Amino acid sequence: MTTKPANRARTARGFSVVELVVVLAIILVLSSIAIPSLLSSMRTYRISSAASSLSALLQRARFEAIRRNTPISVRTKVDVTGDTVVYIDLNGNGNLDPDEPQIMQTSDIQFMAAGGSVPGPASTGYPAAVSPPGLITFGVRGTVNYTGAQTDYISYLGNPAGPNVFYSAVTVSQMGQIKAWTAPAGGSWSMR
């Protein structure tokens, strides 16, 4: 009977230092493999989410123009922190008012210019699309009102400071059709 308590004490000692070091090494190796992939996935999700938010804001402005039977503009403004605010100018005063619908593009997800690894607009079906001139105005029929020549618009979104392997874009056709797109760096656009 005296051997049983001694056996219990021996089996309840815990882990050795070598076992803990091996487990820690395995965790570190797995983390070094998983973290870059996780960060890339999060960046891709954020860029894609920014395009969805922009598309939804443009759709809302288009519907407001039809519903109110008056032209409605979507404008962009860079604030003092360097973030870009995109808002619907409901009252047409050209200023961002607190009650106007808006989205914020933080400094890590910004509008980008075509070129480099950002795919051009050809694969969207709007090969002559250009970046909007700071505002897009929807008319009472939901079409785009132009001050100059009529064209299709495309807004590219990406991470200007980071390694970009993924981009999103939002197109607005002359007839007011709004689409969100995704593409790998240097690849072709596909509709979301």
Specify the CATH number for the domain of residue 32: 3.55.40.10
Q: What is the pLDDT of residues 102-147, one digit of tens each?
A: 999 887 888 888 888 889 999 999 999 999 988 999 999 999 998 7
Q: What is the pLDDT of residues 182-192, one digit of tens each?
A: 998 888 999 87
How many CB atoms lie under 10 A from the CB of residue 185?
A: 14
Report the Cα–Cα distance between both ends of the chain, in Å, rounded.
72
Q: Determine the 3-state secondary structure of 148 from DSSP.
A: coil
Q: What is the pLDDT of residues 58-76, one digit of tens each?
A: 999 999 999 999 999 999 9
pLDDT higher than threshold 90 for residue 4: no
For residue 86, what pLDDT band results from cuts at 50, 70 and 90?
very high
Number of domains making up the chain? 1
- 148 to 94, 145, 173, 182: CA distances (angstroms): 19, 9, 15, 29
Residue 151: give the domain boundaries: 18-191
pLDDT of residue 67: 96
Q: Is residue 29 part of a domain?
A: yes
Q: Is residue 166 part of a domain?
A: yes
Q: Is residue 76 part of a domain?
A: yes
Q: Is residue 3 part of a domain?
A: no
Q: Is residue 4 part of a domain?
A: no
Alpha carbons 123 and 126: distance in angstroms, whole number: 7
Q: Is residue 1 part of a domain?
A: no
Q: Is residue 11 part of a domain?
A: no
Q: Is residue 61 part of a domain?
A: yes
Q: Determine the 3-state secondary structure of 110 from DSSP.
A: strand
The model carries a pTM of 0.81
